[in-house]
Structure 1
Amino acid sequence: MRSAGKRTSVLAATAALFTGATAVASVPASAGPKDVPPGQRGRVLSDRPLTTSAALPSAAANRLVTYTSQGVGGKKIKVSGTVSTPEGRAPRGGWPVISWAHGTTGTADVCAPSADTPDGPVHDYVSITAAYLDKWVSRGYAVVQTDYEGLGTEGGHPYMNGESAANTVVDIVHAARALDHRIGRDWFAIGHSQGGQAALYSAAAEQRTGQLNLKGVVSLAPGGYGLSQTVDYIQSQLPGAQYALAFLPTLITGAEAADPAIVPEEMLTEEASATLLTAGRTQCTAKHREIALTFPLDKVFRPGADLAPLTAYLRSQDPVDLDLRVPTQVAQGTADVLVSKQTTDLLVGELRERGEVDYDVYEGADHRGVLSASFEDSYAFVESLRSGS
Structure 2
Amino acid sequence: MPQVNSSSVTGRERWQPVGWLSHLRTSPIVQAIGGVISLAAGALLIVRPLSALLTLIVGIAVLCGLSGVRMALSVPRHPLRWIYTLGLAALSYGMLAFLPAVARLVPLIGAVFLVACGVRLAYRATRRDPQVSGVRAAMVRGSRVAYSLTSILAAWLFWTWPDAASVVVAAMFSLTLMYIGIALLAKGVRHHFPAGRGSRRRTQATLIVQVVGSALALALVSSAIFGTVRIQSDSAAVDEFYTWEQDIPETPGRVLRVEDYEGTAPEGSHALRILYSTTRSDGSPALASAVIAYPTDDGRDPRTVLAWQHGTTGVAQACGPSLRPDALTELAIPGISQAISRGWVVVATDYPGQGTPGRYPYLIGEGEGRATLDAIRAVGQIPEAKASRSAWVWGHSQGGHATLWAGQIAQRYAPELELLGVAALSAASDPLVLAEKIAGPGAHSAIGDVVTSFVLVPYVDEYSDITLAATVHPVGQGIVETFASRCVSDGSLLVSALTAMTFGLDAPLYRLDLHQGPVHSRLSENIADGMVPMPLFLGQGTDDETIPIKMQRDLSNQLCTIGRTVETHEYPGKTHMSVIEQGSPLIGDLYTWADAVYSGATPTNCDT
Deviation of 1:161 (Å): 1.0
Deviation digits for residues 57-84 of structure 1, max 9, x if unmatched?
3252111101111112011111111111
Pick from 254, 265, 269 the counterpart of residue 56 of structure 1.
265
* Aligned twin of 1:34: none
Deviation of 1:352 (Å): 2.6
Asked if 2 retains the 8 angstrom alpha-carbon contact of 1:229 and 1:311, the reply is no
Query: Is 1:365 matched up with 2:568?
Result: no
Query: Is 1:318 matched up with 2:527?
Result: yes
AA aligned to 1:40 is: T
Which structure 1 segments of 5+ residues have no match? 1-37
Distance in 1 of aligned mates of 2:513 and 2:282: 30
Over 3 Å counting, the alpha-carbon distance change for 1:302 and 1:215 in structure 2 is closer
Over 3 Å counting, the alpha-carbon distance change for 1:305 and 1:221 in structure 2 is closer
* Aligned twin of 1:277: 481
* Aligned twin of 1:113: 321
Distance in 2 of aligned mates of 1:283 and 1:196: 22
Q: Which has the higher contact order (CA 8 A, sep 6+)?
A: 1
Deviation digits for residues 288-337 of structure 1, max 9, x if unmatched?
555444433633035999983222211211113x4221100000111111
> TM-score, length-normalised on structure 1?
0.79
Deviation of 1:148 (Å): 0.8
Deviation of 1:258 (Å): 1.9
Distance in 1 of aligned mates of 2:543 and 2:391: 30
How many aligned positions are there? 341
Asked if 1 retains the 8 angstrom alpha-carbon contact of 2:373 and 2:414, the reply is no
* Aligned twin of 1:173: 376
Between the aligned residues of both structures, percent identity stands at 23
* Aligned twin of 1:164: 367
* Aligned twin of 2:420: 215
Which structure 2 segments of 5+ residues have no match? 1-248, 602-608
Deviation of 1:362 (Å): 1.1
3-state SS in 2 of match to 1:285? coil
Over 3 Å counting, the alpha-carbon distance change for 1:130 and 1:304 in structure 2 is closer
Deviation of 1:217 (Å): 0.7
* Aligned twin of 1:194: 398
Distance in 1 of aligned mates of 2:344 and 2:561: 32
Query: Is 1:40 matched up with 2:251?
Result: yes
* Aligned twin of 1:27: none
* Aligned twin of 1:224: 429
3-state SS in 1 of match to 2:377? helix
Asked if 1 retains the 8 angstrom alpha-carbon contact of 2:250 and 2:285, the reply is no
* Aligned twin of 1:5: none
Pick from 300, 311, 315 the counterpart of residue 103 of structure 1.
311
Pick from 460, 463, 467 the counterpart of residue 259 of structure 1.
463
Q: Over aligned residue pairs, what C-alpha RMSD do you find?
A: 2.8
* Aligned twin of 1:185: 389
- Larger deviation: 70-79 or 290-299? 290-299
Deviation of 1:190 (Å): 0.2
Asked if 2 retains the 8 angstrom alpha-carbon contact of 1:87 and 1:138, the reply is no
* Aligned twin of 1:377: 589
- Larger deviation: 95-104 or 39-48? 39-48
Q: Which has the larger radius of gyration?
A: 2
Deviation of 1:97 (Å): 0.9
Pick from 141, 148, 163 the counterpart of residue 344 of structure 2.
141
> If each structure's helix is expressed as a fraction of its own residues, which one has the higher value?
2
Over 3 Å counting, the alpha-carbon distance change for 1:168 and 1:103 in structure 2 is same
AA aligned to 1:246 is: V
Deviation of 1:159 (Å): 0.9
Asked if 2 retains the 8 angstrom alpha-carbon contact of 1:44 and 1:66, the reply is yes
* Aligned twin of 2:86: none
Asked if 2 retains the 8 angstrom alpha-carbon contact of 1:272 and 1:300, the reply is yes
Deviation digits for residues 26-84 of structure 1, max 9, x if unmatched?
xxxxxxxxxxxx981211000000012xx423252111101111112011111111111
Distance in 1 of aligned mates of 2:515 and 2:555: 28
3-state SS in 2 of match to 1:388? coil
